[in-house]
Homo-oligomer: A and B are copies of this chain.
Amino acid sequence: MRGVGAERSDAITSRDNKWLKLFRAALRGTGPRTGEAIGVEGPKFIEDALRSGLEADALLVSESGELHAAAVLRAASESEAGIARSRVLRTTDKLFESAAGTDAPQGIAALFRQPEWSLEDVLRGAGAMRESAALVIVLAEVQDPGNVGTALRSAEAFGATGAIATRGTADAWSPKALRASAGSALRLPVMRGMAVPILLAQLRVAGVKIYAARSTPGAADLDSAAGGISLQADLREPAAIFVGSEGSGVPEQILHAADAIISIPTSAAVESLNAGVAASIVLYEAARQRTEAARTASKI
């Protein structure tokens, strides 16, 4: 019942196989360093990545993963780079599990070359978003990879042109962030590990407004000075919005350098919003404002 190729004599049968080690490191790590491959698990994510134009270095298929292999190989052959036959590797379910990063692995994984995004890409966007003003979410020391992934997923959903992660932020291409992003981390232009002073300088040169978002407990109560839930920022111009971790918020040096603070008013009982949610809400608000502006313009 195995698919074509499953019986190849060069199937991986040792835990110490060079390729298996590379897959293990990529699928269980905290994200690839410079030059290392991005590990992607599961047929859907792999096909998505191939369709987004990423170049596969290798494909690993276990016995039970064979049923997904045909569709993935078809997607690979339709992609620009394809995938070399010699890099389609077979192994046993047991060895696959020893390398997989998920609890219920589907028996198919791939290694991809890192895409190379420039600041220009991040400000301009990929594909359909190329027409709109820059909208960049900057994750400043957001340690939880789930929150990083959630923010990237919402960034793509709400038409951000790109995302930037500062040093100290969980890697957008780590297995956990990739999963939480539902693949957006591989489609959206992303820059990782940026040093804050350099980033701030580059954004200024590019004419992008710098915003720092934070939740303000108590401000949502209607009798407070700020008066209920309302983001007072104008997010229609080119904008980079910094979001920090839940515990410590946006770092001081960014708060000082920012052109404006976006306060997300919340009720007094809640100390902060989930970092992924805070990013999602400012992105939604930016998209909402841009839509209204476009509507008004088209009516005139």
Contact = CB atoms under 8 A, between A and B. Distances in A.
Interface of A: 127-129, 146, 150, 153-154, 156-159, 180, 182, 184, 187, 215, 220-222, 227-230, 246, 266-274, 276-277, 280-281, 284-285, 287-288, 290-292, 294-295
A213 to B, nearest CB: 13
B267 A159 contact: yes
Contacts of A158: 220, 229, 266-267
A174 to B, nearest CB: 17
A277 B147 CA distance: 11
Nearest to A274: B150
Given A150-B274, A182-B271, A229-B288, 8 more contacts: A153-B274, A156-B267, A157-B215, A182-B270, A184-B270, A222-B291, A228-B294, A284-B285
Contact of A291 (B159, B230, B266, B274): B230
A158 to B, nearest CB: 6
Q: How many copies does the complex hold?
A: 2
B266 A229 contact: no
A267 B230 contact: no
A284 B284 contact: yes
- The secondary-structure label for the interface of chain A is helix
15 contacts: A127-B269, A146-B146, A150-B276, A153-B270, A158-B267, A159-B221, A222-B294, A227-B291, A227-B295, A228-B295, A230-B288, A274-B276, A274-B280, A276-B276, A284-B285
A94 to B, nearest CB: 26
A128 B229 contact: no
Q: Which of A150, A267, A268 has the most CB of B within 10 A?
A: A267
A67 B147 CA distance: 31
Contacts of A129: 267
Contacts of A273: 153-154, 157, 280
Contact of A280 (B180, B184, B281): B281
Q: Which of A227, A269, A272 has the most CB of B within 10 A?
A: A269
A278 to B, nearest CB: 9
Contacts of A287: 220, 228-229
Contact of A270 (B156, B267, B291): B156
Contacts of A221: 128, 159
Contacts of A227: 291, 294-295
Contacts of A272: 182
B228 A291 contact: yes
A293 to B, nearest CB: 9
A162 to B, nearest CB: 13
A273 B284 CA distance: 11
A187 B272 CA distance: 15
Nearest to A149: B274
Contacts of A266: 157-158
